[in-house]
Copies of this chain bind each other. A is one copy, B any other.
Amino acid sequence: MEILKVSSSSRPTSVAGAIAGVVREQGIVEVQAVGAGAANQAIKSVAVARGYLAPAGVDLICTPGFTEIEIDGQERTAVRLIVEPR
C-alpha cells in the first residue's frame, strides 16, 4: 500500500490531492504522521480529500491506528490513517 508521509508543515490541500489521486488509482492509501501537528494536518487532509472525491460519488472513510517507525535510529510511534471508499 502506498504511504503518504505528512508533516506539521504539509499543506492539507496538497496532501488531499495526493490522497484523492492514489485512491482513484489504487483504491486505498495509508497516511502517516508523527507528532500532534502532523496528525492534525493528516486528518484535515482527509477531510479535504472527501470534498474532492464526493462529486464522483466516492464517500471516503478512514481507519486510524498506530505504527512503529524508525527516525534517525530512534523508534517513534506514528499515527496512521488507512483511507479508502466506504
Contact = CB atoms under 8 A, between A and B. Distances in A.
A7 to B, nearest CB: 12
A82 to B, nearest CB: 9
A28 interface: no
Interface residues of A, number: 23
A63 to B, nearest CB: 6
Interface string A46-68: 11001000000001111111100
Given A43-B43, A62-B63, A86-B86, 8 more contacts: A36-B39, A37-B40, A39-B39, A50-B65, A59-B63, A61-B61, A61-B86, A62-B62
Interface of A: 8, 35-37, 39-40, 42-44, 46-47, 50, 59-66, 79, 81, 86
